[in-house]
Homo-oligomer: A and B are copies of this chain.
Amino acid sequence: MSQLQTSTDRRRGANGGGRRVYALLRAQIADGSLAVGARLPSTRALAADLGVARSTVTVAYEQLAAEGFLATAPGRAARVAAPLAQKVSARKATETEPRLACALSAYAQRVAGMELLTAQTSAAAPARIDFLYGAVAARDFPTLAWKRAYQSELLRQQPSLYYAAPEGDSGLRQALQGYLRRARGLACSAEQILIVQGAQQGIDLCARLLLEPGSAYVFEDPGYVMARRCFEASGARGVPVPVDSLGLDSDSLPADAQMRLAYVTPSHQFPLGGVLPIGRRQALLQWARAHNAWVIEDDYDGEFRYGQRPIDALQSIDTDGRVIYIGTFSKALSPQLRLAYLVLPASLVPLFRKAKRLADRHAPVIEQRVLAALLGSGAYERHVRRMRRENERRRQALLDAIRRHLPGDAKASGSAAGLHLVLWLPALLPRHEPQLIAAARAAGVGVYAVSPLFARPPSAMAPRPAGLILGYASLTLAQIDEGMQRLAGAIAALAAPHDL
């Protein structure tokens, strides 16, 4: 069964023979040929029978005794002490739906009932030209700088390796504090920063610590589904608030006594792209004060704003410590790093540190130090500026290609910031989105429907055309142009009446 040979085997000169004797005896106990209570031969006798050294048999007996299969006593014959079940064969998770052995928590039951397929995993194979939102170009990653910093951190070793602090590397938190002040107008102390495994963990910690069955929360409609699912999983009641071209419609915030939390994307509403004006920001904070609610500000792509400098964070005008800011390295570096951070109101710092320690102790250490080095040397900010220029070119190429190839009534919205835009197609209805996506995919183009991001279906009160989310951060300018050309072909074919 095992080719593994322990140093002990070797030291005793057993050369694996002990393992074979062990396996033989174990098989005989398992199949009942050595029943409970049965007396085993002496080590000397069995060694002679099997033609191995006596020490070889002794090793096997000791192992079986240590495992409790044999009862041994000085000067007495070893006996079988316990039966051994036949090994169950490995089951495949994908075979038939296996029966649950035992009960699950209410949380688990909510999670089990959720649909969590992401854009990419739901598709059979990636499209040749994929406007997948959230993907970034591998060639944009600062491989050389990262490699150098990683090597240097790997070699700069501590005397011993032990668990680190839950809040994250102090050098990284210091560097982030300076970065946030310079780049996001966010004045905080390094103590308020908590390093997390991607924004998803930040959102999940908030859901877990701030929501529960019986409480309620507000979310943007349409909005970021993976955040909404975390809140839903908490068992709290979600209230969708409509979004227009400026972001969350603060006039529609509900009066609700159970309200505990609002989740917003004020820098660049996901997916519609609005930049929340100061009046609405203040109305949101006033509403939160009136309802004694927390506000989660997910600044998922705040670095990428074109034409104006990035807008200061909502947290920078929060006077009473109710805004939790989430920032991430997924867009400027890579979503596969799983590194993001929370800037917490001071009152939440001790609680979130404890919860992070319970959840997974802390983020991986070397990667945090690599980031700290890149932030400290200025390399990270240079990289972000380069990425902003790069993505501004991609954005412009996409807007140009839309104008050039798509029907005249197609309208791009939310392109002033971020790494995606929403393309509205007034000639089509939301129910046409699946066909459109299939047609585009058949033409080698990956596009993604906007409708799954809405909590409420379109209605006479709130009508809307078909819409596509186009992420452009992973594509070349040529791919962007060709992609829109191919999409135009797919739309033209679809708009023919027999297809609809």
Supply 30 A–B pairs (Cβ within 8 Å), ascending by A: A1-B182, A3-B182, A4-B309, A4-B385, A7-B388, A62-B307, A63-B309, A81-B278, A82-B277, A83-B282, A93-B344, A98-B321, A100-B348, A101-B347, A102-B292, A103-B215, A105-B234, A108-B355, A120-B162, A137-B160, A138-B158, A141-B161, A147-B154, A196-B360, A201-B360, A204-B360, A230-B358, A233-B358, A335-B361, A339-B364
Residue A125, interface by CB 8 Å:
no
Q: Which 8 pairs between the two chains have the least Cβ-Cβ distance? A: A68-B277, A93-B191, A160-B474, A68-B278, A336-B365, A197-B360, A108-B209, A93-B349
A315 and chain B: residue at smallest CB distance: B88
Residue A237, interface by CB 8 Å:
no
Residue A79, interface by CB 8 Å:
no
Known: A354-B112, A360-B201. A189 touches B6 (CB 8 A): no
Residue A459, interface by CB 8 Å:
no
A36 and chain B: residue at smallest CB distance: B279
A108 and chain B: residue at smallest CB distance: B209
The CA-CA distance from A328 to B90 in the complex, in Å, is 21
Q: Is the CB of A90 within 8 A of B189?
A: yes
* Interface 0/1 of A150-165, CB less than 8 Å to B: 1100110111111111
* Interface 0/1 of A196-226, CB less than 8 Å to B: 1110110010001111100100000000001
Q: Is the CB of B161 within 8 A of A334?
A: yes
Known: A68-B278, A388-B7. A91 touches B209 (CB 8 A): no
Q: Is the CB of B347 within 8 A of A99?
A: yes
Residue A482, interface by CB 8 Å:
no
A368 and chain B: residue at smallest CB distance: B336
Q: Is the CB of A308 within 8 A of B8?
A: yes
Known: A102-B322, A106-B212, A351-B104. A200 touches B361 (CB 8 A): yes
Residue A130, interface by CB 8 Å:
yes
The CA-CA distance from A208 to B360 in the complex, in Å, is 13
Residue A401, interface by CB 8 Å:
no
A112 and chain B: residue at smallest CB distance: B351
Q: CB within 8 A of A260: which of B102, B293, B294? A: B102
Contacts of A234 in B (CB 8 A): 105
* CB proximity of A8 to chain B, nearest CB, Å: 6
Residue A188, interface by CB 8 Å:
yes
Would you list which residues of chain A between 311 and 330 have a CB under 8 Å from chain B? 311-312, 316-322
* CB proximity of A467 to chain B, nearest CB, Å: 21
Most B C-beta atoms less than 10 A away, residue of A92, A155, A319? A92
Q: Is the CB of A361 within 8 A of B338?
A: yes
Known: A95-B346, A159-B138, A348-B100. A85 touches B319 (CB 8 A): yes
A115 and chain B: residue at smallest CB distance: B354
Q: Is the CB of A212 within 8 A of B107?
A: yes
Contacts of A102 in B (CB 8 A): 210, 260-261, 292-294, 322
Q: Is the CB of B92 within 8 A of A191?
A: yes
Q: Is the CB of B68 within 8 A of A280?
A: yes
Q: How many residues of A sit at the interface, in one of the four size bands?
A: 35 or more
Residue A300, interface by CB 8 Å:
no
Contacts of A163 in B (CB 8 A): 118, 120, 134, 335-336
Residue A345, interface by CB 8 Å:
yes
Known: A4-B183, A358-B229. A309 touches B278 (CB 8 A): no
Residue A366, interface by CB 8 Å:
yes
A359 and chain B: residue at smallest CB distance: B204
Contacts of A350 in B (CB 8 A): 93, 112
Q: Is the CB of B336 within 8 A of A366?
A: yes
Q: CB within 8 A of A336: which of B6, B215, B276, B364? A: B364
Residue A121, interface by CB 8 Å:
yes
